[in-house]
Amino acid sequence: MKLIDTIKVHNQLGEGVIWDVATQRLLWLDIEGRALFRYNPIDQNLEQWETPERLCCMAPTAQADRFAVAFESGFAFYQPTTGKVDWIAKLEQDNPGTRFNDGRTDRQGRLWAGTMVEDLDKSIYKGSLYCLNSDLSVHQSIGGILITNSLCWSPDGETVYHTDTPTREIKRYPFDQKNAVFGEGTTLVKTQRGCYPDGSIIDAEGCLWNAQWGGSKVVRYRPNGAADLELSVPTKQPSCVAFAGADLTLLAVTSANQDMDEAQKQSDPEAGNLFIYQTPYRGLNESIFIEA
């Protein structure tokens, strides 16, 4: 695989990268920098918007420039070009030590997002995974989470993957697609020490690609958990991945310079940039959020 483009944005916490099929653009977030980016890989045009609070994950909708999102405090519809926010539900308002983090739509077009503990001293309880349904109701799924990540679905939608990052275990769950319910989880893989599983994506063969924070790599896992490819990335903290491009053979990788002092940033000059690789693999179109 060949690195073909580096977008030098130096994000504090680059995350949530997705490919918007309708516009043929990459979108990603700098959560801590409170910024949303949109990039055209063809003409290399980069756009940027300031977000009203930390934006943690997003999904396109049927309406152009309108996204279903999880801000740090809850679910909303968001139009970046106008800054308009229509709140749907704010969650865990009684728990000031948590915020939303990773999320993705399932194959039925529901947006899932989980909360994470960012301040143990202020947290009354740990985070949970939530589902924003098409009728805009919200239900809670698994709980007891420190840092939710790696959320993605198998091509047929019958298996869902998720990690509580500090455990270093990516788990798989049978998924009741009709009722949006997780079954009992089993461990797909436990990552190496110092390599913390962050954002993931599923390719057309049903393999899971995982960005490993602290490990300077993205790893591709077969559905049985066997690792069959490691992609070295030129920075220590890769954070999320997405397939992109007209034929979905490009792999976009976000990264972060969060928690690095100036000396560490000097020694890791690519930290926080977004990297695009040409691959021999193909991704899947991600579902838009479907509103009833």
How far, in whole angstroms, is CA 49 from its chain's centroid?
19
Whether 98 contacts 195, CB under 8 Å: no
What domains can you pick out in the chain, each with its CATH number?
2-278 (2.120.10.30)
pLDDT of 37 reads 98
Hey, CA dihedral for 66, 106, 160, 19, is it positive or negative? negative
Average pLDDT over residues 213-224: 98
Average pLDDT over residues 159-177: 98
pLDDT band for 196, please (50, 70, 90 cuts): very high
DSSP per-residue letters across 32-73: TTTEEEEE-TTT--EEEEE-SS-EEEEEE-SSTT-EEEEETT
> What percentage of the chain has pLDDT greater than the value 70?
100
Tens-place pLDDT, residues 34-57: 999 999 999 999 999 999 999 999
DSSP per-residue letters across 61-127: -SSTT-EEEEETTEEEEEETTTTEEEEEEE--TT-TTEEEEEEEE-TTS-EEEEEEES-TTT-SS-B
Give the chain's end-to-end CA distance (angstroms, integer). Answer: 41
Whether 85 contacts 77, CB under 8 Å: yes
pLDDT of 229 reads 97
Average pLDDT over residues 196-224: 98
pLDDT of 174 reads 98
Half-sphere exposure of 191 (CA within 13 A, CB side): 30
pTM for this entry: 0.97
**Average pLDDT, rounded, for the chain:** 97
Q: Which residues contact 60 (CB under 8 A, 6 or more apart)?
A: 18, 20, 21, 22, 67, 288, 289
- Reduced to 3 states (helix: H, G, I; strand: E, B; else coil), residue 134 is coil
Phi-psi label, residue 264: left if phi above 0, alpha if psi -120 to 50, beta otherwise? alpha
Tens-place pLDDT, residues 109-150: 999 999 999 999 999 999 999 999 999 999 999 999 999 999
pLDDT of 270 reads 98
Half-sphere exposure of 248 (CA within 13 A, CB side): 16
pLDDT of 136 reads 98
pLDDT of 102 reads 97
DSSP per-residue letters across 153-205: E-TTSSEEEEEEGGG-EEEEEEEETTTTEE---EEEEEPPTT-EEEEEEEBTT
Residue found under tokens 């057309």: 204
pLDDT of 241 reads 98
pLDDT band for 214, please (50, 70, 90 cuts): very high
Average pLDDT over residues 279-286: 96
pLDDT of 186 reads 98
pLDDT band for 265, please (50, 70, 90 cuts): very high
Tens-place pLDDT, residues 70-115: 999 999 999 999 999 999 999 999 999 999 999 999 999 999 999 9
